[in-house]
Amino acid sequence: MPTPLLPRPLPKAVWFVLLYLAGLASLTLLALLLKGLLNGL
């Protein structure tokens, strides 16, 4: 992965989007795990 030339840290909006996407991904993973567990019982 090429390193982007960023002289300053990321703006807060970018962090909010990254956190939002990370939360969404973890929620979907949790839902899939619960679904699999319920189907396995």
In a structure prediction context, what are the per-residue pLDDT tens digits for the chain, which is 41 residues long?
566 666 677 788 989 999 999 999 999 999 999 999 999 87
The answer to whether residue 8 is domain-embedded is no
pLDDT at residue number 19: 95
The two tokens of residue 32 are 């899939």
The pTM for the full model equals 0.57
The answer to whether residue 35 is domain-embedded is yes
DSSP alpha helices (H): ranges in 1-41? 12-40
* Host domain of residue 30: 14-41
The answer to whether residue 7 is domain-embedded is no
The answer to whether residue 3 is domain-embedded is no
CA dist 2 and 25 (Å) reads 24
CA dist 20 and 14 (Å) reads 10
Number of domains in the chain: 1
At 1 the three-state DSSP class reads: coil
The answer to whether residue 1 is domain-embedded is no
